[in-house]
Amino acid sequence: MKMDEFELYIHIPFCVKKCLYCDFLSGPSNFSEREKYTEAIINELMLYGPRFKGRTLTSIFIGGGTPTFLETEFLIRIVNTVKTEFDLSKDCEITIECNPKTADHISLLKLRECGINRISIGLQSANPIELKTLGRVHNYNDFLRCFEFARYANFRNINVDIITGIPGQTEKSLMDTLKKVTILKPEHISAYDLIIEPGTYFYEKYHEDDLLRQKGEEPHFLPNEDLEKKFTDLTEDFLKKKGYRQYEISNFAKAGYECRHNKGYWERRPYLGVGTGAASFVDEKRWSNERDLYKYIKLLLAPEPILPKVNMTILKKEDSMAEFFYLGLRELEGVSLKKFKEYFGSDAYPIYGDVIEHYQKLGFFDFDGDKLRFTKRGRKVSNYILADFLPDQD
């Protein structure tokens, strides 16, 4: 990634119904709200356009919420505005997230024609009981139709999302989901561990159960630690046999189909976020947008539109160095200490050598003198280890 390149994230906060486990900024809406929000997004893009002259846009990710719940015409207007306001690379990767219930063959054809070339379909599970437990609005047949529509629309880069660790999930049901997904031969599969997030229905229902699991005790509803590890091993081993290379803790791809946009996050490439609550990282500055939908719209539909920036932070060097490890170690190829020195002008080992040696002795790290990466054992406890790279908070 060259210094004059960047990525773009566009947040669409609308969905049919909020899933029971979801803590993303999303919710229901009416047509008027979606129409005004589209105008606000377009105004925000137009405000940023002149500020990013001289930089090349290499990937765009339209996420949510459920972006395909927004009217297709509105999505096309947004994409066309991006093309007008920014300089896109010839091979710019443009991804849209999709709920199987919110897209048909006509809408997908139109989205493909406007330049979107990658689609991420949220299946989560092929099991009807697990889908009901998660609060999903689709069933497996909806997913099959959506996948077929995407292929018919000439999408040649499809990701499928699944979730492991669902209450009541078994090795058999997970394997059934994996088999049903891989027989379709998507180019990419994301397999996320279920996380019980504050503010969700799942938190209210399963928080105490989650605490029991964290203490090493037997939970009542959630999979225990041993079963979680089996899910991880089963997923990694099965997908490897099917020709998917695991390139990040939760992501698997056929050769050449790694998600460019997400790799950018892990490698600390500059990115601009537009839409309510969207985050940005440019020139070692981080900021987020106003989270309140109506305030966001009001700022950008004013006679003189105002960028809805909040929480601007200029990263200290020690924070940037910690992020280098915290984000980069998610990728299976690990991080290069030579690149660390090139980027920060100092050696990493005097700062992080104790942490590296400690976990290397425990068998959680491989280190060849340059590349530091998690072992398979280390990946299973990666969140705990990564926290040790963060600077002490005053």
Q: Which of 5-9, 78-82, 109-113, 369-373 has the lowest mean pLDDT?
A: 369-373
Helix 105-113 with 140-152: angle, nearest 10 deg: 40
- Return the closest-CA partner of residue 274 out of 5, 8, 7: 8
For residue 192, give the 3-state DSSP assignment: strand
- Cα separations in angstroms, 221 against 63, 82, 133, 213, 232: 30, 45, 12, 10, 18
Q: Where are the beta strands (DSSP E) in 266-364?
A: 271-274, 279-282, 285-289, 309-314, 335-336
Residue 1: predicted pLDDT: 45
- Return the closest-CA partner of residue 82 out of 109, 115, 112: 115
Beta bridge partners of 124: 162
Question: Which residue matches tokens 């998690």?
Answer: 374
Residue 215: predicted pLDDT: 87
Rounded to 5°, angle at Cα 291 from 286 and 295: 120
Q: Tell me the per-residue pLDDT of 208-229, one tens digit each, with 9 for 90 and over.
A: 999 998 888 999 999 998 999 9
Q: What is the mean pLDDT of residues 266-276?
A: 96
Q: What is the mean pLDDT of residues 13-20?
A: 93
Q: Binning pLDDT at 50, 70 and 90, where does residue 390 land? A: confident
CA 198 from centre of chain = 19
For residue 139, give the 3-state DSSP assignment: coil
Tokens representing residue 357 in the block: 């040696």
Report the mean per-residue pLDDT for the chain: 95
Tokens representing residue 353 in the block: 């050598």
Q: How many CA atoms lie within 13 A of 370 on its CB side?
A: 5
- What whole-number distance in Å separates Cα of residue 73 and Cα of residue 78? 9
Residue 380: predicted pLDDT: 83
Contact 187, 254 (CB under 8 A): yes
Q: Tell me the per-residue pLDDT of 349-383, one tens digit each, with 9 for 90 and over.
A: 999 999 999 999 999 999 998 999 999 999 988 98
Tokens representing residue 306 in the block: 């105002």
- What whole-number distance in Å separates Cα of residue 118 and Cα of residue 258? 11
Contact 193, 250 (CB under 8 A): yes
- What whole-number distance in Å separates Cα of residue 186 and Cα of residue 183? 8
62 Cβ neighbours under 8 A, 6+ residues apart: 10, 12, 75, 78, 94, 95, 96, 97, 116
Architecture per CATH, 5-266: Alpha-Beta Barrel (3.20)
Contact 189, 147 (CB under 8 A): no
pLDDT at 313 over 80: yes
Residue 393: predicted pLDDT: 55
Q: Tell me the per-residue pLDDT of 245-267, one tens digit each, with 9 for 90 and over.
A: 999 999 999 999 999 999 999 99
Q: Binning pLDDT at 50, 70 and 90, where does residue 203 land? A: very high
33 Cβ neighbours under 8 A, 6+ residues apart: 14, 293, 297
Phi, psi of 273 (to 5 degrees): -110, 130
Q: Where are the domains of the chain?
A: 5-266, 334-387
Tokens representing residue 130 in the block: 């697990």
Residue 3: predicted pLDDT: 61
- pTM of the full structure: 0.94
